[in-house]
């Protein structure tokens, strides 16, 4: 398996199993199938509400001798309600307990958005903190603390734009090592990718297939389909693989980690087999000029009339 490499030499398998939207009752088996298929990278988050089940699957895989802990790369994320300095370490300790691990390979700030303690999804102005209340530098200080304590080998962020990354870097003892964002041919994030590379920040692409299985309430009418896009289908036909495999291979060819989610055994296997798809320069050029621009996870659920945050707090202008 191809990997991407951190500055200290640690490696992260470039294809991982995403667990967002994997329901309890399904994610346990999905993780076991993935490990048996050869996945060595599992992406988790506290807000996915399934880390206990992921932990049970990891424990079984270790006890059955299918894989050793040191052979797996496990990522999780700090939720918005734990951004205060005093809340970061306890939040990670809860994740470690749920995952039945002593240490994460990578821990990320999930969003540059802050809720008050105990709030899962802020709905009213009183449930939000502002950057004045809880600066990102305070949250990052907590992330640096978990690294110093040995609770996470690497630390980074998710859904951060250039402005927010620069803010963190300016005040940091340890710079972010990863930025996980939505990325695919409809949203190549070239400006952000170039910035991160200039700062030695690795990148992970989420929703590489377009997140078609997310809640209807979070979709817009007439969304474009990545999997049904004619350019993607044409390249898939050329290589005799699925559209999903082309979209996963697209990130691999950009040297960007990618975390497709599935709870279907055949698709889990097929997604990992994307590593064998060899896209040529013409394929990549066609995908780079696909003619559609679209962000599936637009963050508007954090920026309503009751929120102190704006979409400009989240995204780059492409």
Separation of alpha carbons 20 and 206, rounded Å? 10
Q: Catalogue the active-site residues.
A: 48
Q: Cα separations (Å) of 316 from 32, 69, 225, 229, 311? A: 37, 37, 22, 24, 9
Average pLDDT estimate for 225-249: 97
User: Which CATH number does the domain housing residue 26 bear?
Assistant: 3.20.20.100
Range of the domain at 297: 3-212+254-276+293-313
**Does 219 reside within a domain?**
no
pLDDT higher than 60, residue 28: yes
Give the distance, in angstroms, between the CA of residue 7 and the centroid of all CA atoms in the same chain: 20
Q: How many domains does the chain have?
A: 1
pLDDT higher than 60, residue 214: no
**Does 149 reside within a domain?**
yes
* Among 118, 127, 116, 125, CA closest to 94: 118
Is 154 annotated to bind a ligand? Reply is no
Q: Cα separations (Å) of 9 from 19, 183, 253, 277, 299? A: 26, 25, 20, 26, 34
**Does 140 reside within a domain?**
yes
**Does 220 reside within a domain?**
no
Res. 262 pLDDT band, cuts 50 70 90 = very high
Percent of the chain with pLDDT over 70: 97
**Does 234 reside within a domain?**
no
pLDDT higher than 80, residue 311: yes
**Does 157 reside within a domain?**
yes
Q: Within a 10 A sphere around the Cβ of 236, how many other Cβ atoms? A: 20
pLDDT at 215: 62
**Does 223 reside within a domain?**
no
* 271-285 residue pLDDT tens: 999 999 999 999 999
| Residue-by-residue DSSP string for 28-59 | HHHHHHHHHHT--EEE--GGGS-HHHHHHHHH
* Among 46, 48, 22, CA closest to 33: 22
**Does 82 reside within a domain?**
yes
Res. 220 pLDDT band, cuts 50 70 90 = confident
Query: Minimum mean pLDDT among 15-24, 82-91, 211-220, 225-234: which range?
Result: 211-220
């Amino acid at each position: 398996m191809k990997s991407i490499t951190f500055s200290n030499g640690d490696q992260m398998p470039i294809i991982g199993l995403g667990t967002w939207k994997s329901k309890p009752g399904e994610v346990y088996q999905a993780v076991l199938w993935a490990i048996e298929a050869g996945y060595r990278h599992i992406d988790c988050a506290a807000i996915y509400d399934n880390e206990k089940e992921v932990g049970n699957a990891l424990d079984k895989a270790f006890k059955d001798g299918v894989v050793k802990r040191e052979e797996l790369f496990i990522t999780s994320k700090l939720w918005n309600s734990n951004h205060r300095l005093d809340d970061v370490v306890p939040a990670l300790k809860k994740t470690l307990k749920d995952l039945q691990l002593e240490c994460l390979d990578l821990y990320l700030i999930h969003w540059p958005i802050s809720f008050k303690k105990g709030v899962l999804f802020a709905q009213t102005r009183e449930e939000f903190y502002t950057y004045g209340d809880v600066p990102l530098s305070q949250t990052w200080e907590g992330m640096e603390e978990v690294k110093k304590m040995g609770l996470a080998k690497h630390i980074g962020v998710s859904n951060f734009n250039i402005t927010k990354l620069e803010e963190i870097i300016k005040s940091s003892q340890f710079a972010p090592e990863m930025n996980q964002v939505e990325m695919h041919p409809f949203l190549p994030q070239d400006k952000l990718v170039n910035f991160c590379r200039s700062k030695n920040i690795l990148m992970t692409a989420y929703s590489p297939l377009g997140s078609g299985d997310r809640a209807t309430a979070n979709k817009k009418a007439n969304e474009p389909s990545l999997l049904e896009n004619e350019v993607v289908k044409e390249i898939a036909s050329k290589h005799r693989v699925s559209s999903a495999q082309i979209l996963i291979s697209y990130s691999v060819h950009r040297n960007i980690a990618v975390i497709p989610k599935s709870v279907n055994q055949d698709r889990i296997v097929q997604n990992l087999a994307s590593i064998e798809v060899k896209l040529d320069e013409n394929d990549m050029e066609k995908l780079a000029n696909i003619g559609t621009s679209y962000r599936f996870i637009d963050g508007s659920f954090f920026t309503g009339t009751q929120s102190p945050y704006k979409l400009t707090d989240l995204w780059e202008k492409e």
